Structure 1
C-alpha cells in the first residue's frame, strides 16, 4: 500500500513538472530567445509554496490570503491567463503585466506578497501606496468574468490605476465604486510608456500618439524586427479590429493595448496578426493597409542588462 502511494505521488510530481514546462514554454513565446529572464517560474513557485501561513491583511480586508497565493501560483505558470475583465478599462495594465510575469515572476510574487502584508510596496522606480477606497474595493469587483475570482489581479490593476495618472484621468482622479469602468482607469499613450519606464528595469522606445499614427513605411516588417529586440505593445483601435467587416470609418481613435506575439506576411499579401488580448491569444488576417489604419502606438520594452 505504501509503495502504491509513493508511485502515485511520483506520477503526480512528474505530471506537475511536465505541465510547468509546457506552460513556461507557451508563456515565454513573446520573449526573444537572446533575452534571459531575471528569475524563473520554478523559483517563484518555490517562494510562494514556502509561505506556510499568510495572515489576513488589515490593508486588504476583502482579499483572502489563500486566494491571493493561489492566484499568484496560477499566473506564475500561465502569464497569458492574466485577464483585465469584462467592461473594465484595465487593458493597459493587463498588457504590461506580461513583463513581470514572464521576465521576473519571483520578483513580482515577492512584490505582491509585500503589498498584501504592508499595504504598500516598491516595484522598479515606483512605490505603490494604494488609497483606502481602492484597498477596500479589491476583492469585491463582480460581473467582470474571471477577474471576479482573481483578487490578486484586482489589487494590482486598482493599485496601478490609483497611482498613475494622465490627462484622461484629469476629471476623475479619486476612486469611487464602479470607476474601473470609467475614465478613472483609462490610459493614454504617454501614461502607458511612463508606466513601462517606472515599473520595470528596461529601455522603452515608443512611436505614435493618441491622435496620430506612427510614420512607418513598412509596418509589418518593422514590427517583426522589433519583436527580435524585446516585447512589443500596440495601442490600437479595437472597435475596428473586432468588426465583422474590416472597413474604413470617419471616426478612428485608439482605445486598447495588446501584446504582440507574432506577425508575418502571408502568400496572398495579407498579414497574420497574433496578439494577447482579453486573457487569450487572438489571431487575425488583415490587409497591410487595415493594419496600419488601426495602430496608433508601438512601444518596445527591452530589459536592461543586470550589473
Structure 2
C-alpha cells in the first residue's frame, strides 16, 4: 500500500463526515438562514387537520416530513422499488439552494391542491390527489407523505417519450415508466423550475466522449453542481471487470474526485446517492463505461 494512503483515506472520510465536499455553488451561511426561514414558514402557517385535496395525507406526518427535508436535505430518498430516483436527485438542488421556495410550494400545494413554481403551474390529476399518502412497501417513503406528493406531482407534470404508453397514473405506476425520468426530462426540470444553466453531455442510449474525463469533472466541480447519469447496477458491483454493456439507471451528484498518487487511472470519488454520501475508489476506464451523462449545473445570480 502507498505510504500516504492511510492519511489520504482519513482526510477523505473526515470530508465525507463533515459534509464539506463539493458545494462550490452553495453559500453555507445563506443556506442556514434560508432553512430557518423555511421552518418559520411552517411554524406560522395554519393548516387544516385534513385536506379535501389530499384525503390520504396525515398532517402530522406531512409536517414532520417537510421539517426533515429542510434540516437534513441529503437524506432525501426515493423509496424502495420505485422509479422516483430522478426526482429525488433533482431535489438535491432546491432543498439546499432554495428551501424557502420549496417549502412555500409544498404548503401551497397542500392547501390549494395546486401550486406554481417559476411560472409553471402544477395541477395534479385526481388520481394523484388520491394516491399521495397511500404508497406502501416502499421503505421509509411509506411514512413520508410530503415526499410522495412531491415525487408524484413532478412525475404527473413533466412528461417524456417514456410516457407514450403510460400517460396517466394508476396504482403501482410509481414502479413503471410512468414515473421514470429520462436524461432530457431531468435536465429540463432543472432549467425550467429552477432557472439554472445546465450544460449536458450524454443521452439515454449512448455514452458521451471526453478527451480527459478527470479534468472535465474537476473543472465542473469548481463552478457548480455536477450530476452523473450512470448504470448504478455496476457502480455497486465488487468486481468491476464483469461489466457488460447496459443502460443508465441512476443519477448521482459528484461532490469530489481525487486522483490517487502514483496511479493515473484510479480515483477516489465522493458522491451523493439518495440518502447520504458514498466514498468509492474506481478507475477512470470503468467510470467511462458506466457513464451516460454529465450535467454541469450553475445557479442564477442571486441578488
TM (norm. structure 1) is: 0.87
Partner residue in 2 for 1:14: none
**3-state secondary structure, aligned to 2:257:** strand
Aligned counterparts, 1:14-29, within 5 A: 29=21
Output the CA distance in 2 between the equivalents of 1:186 and 1:28.
31
Partner residue in 2 for 1:237: 231
Q: Quickly say closer, same or farther: Cα 1:28–1:79, change in 2 above 3 A.
A: farther
Is the CA contact 1:271–1:288 (under 8 Å) kept in the aligned structure 2? yes
Unpaired segments ≥5 residues, structure 2: 1-16
Unpaired segments ≥5 residues, structure 1: 1-24
Query: How many residue pairs were aligned?
Result: 283
Is the CA contact 1:27–1:78 (under 8 Å) kept in the aligned structure 2? no
Q: Quickly say closer, same or farther: Cα 1:155–1:209, change in 2 above 3 A.
A: same
Match of residue 60, structure 1, among 43, 54, 57: 54
Deviation for aligned residue 1:66: 2.1
CA deviation profile, 1:200-227 (whole Å, cap 9, x unmatched): 0211111111111121122122112111
Partner residue in 2 for 1:108: 102
Aligned counterparts, 1:205-224, within 5 A: 205-224=199-218
Partner residue in 2 for 1:142: 136
Is the CA contact 1:133–1:175 (under 8 Å) kept in the aligned structure 2? yes
CA deviation profile, 1:154-197 (whole Å, cap 9, x unmatched): 00001111111111121111111001011111111111111111
Output the CA distance in 2 between the equivalents of 1:112 and 1:26.
29
Q: Quickly say closer, same or farther: Cα 1:213–1:27, change in 2 above 3 A.
A: same
**Pair 1:183-2:139 in alignment:** no
RMSD: 1.9
Output the CA distance in 1 between the equivalents of 2:84 and 2:115.
20
CA deviation profile, 1:82-112 (whole Å, cap 9, x unmatched): 1001110011100010111100111111110
Deviation for aligned residue 1:144: 0.9
Output the CA distance in 1 between the equivalents of 2:101 and 2:176.
30
Q: Show structure 1 runs of 4+ deviating over 6 A.
A: none
Aligned counterparts, 1:74-153, within 5 A: 74-153=68-147
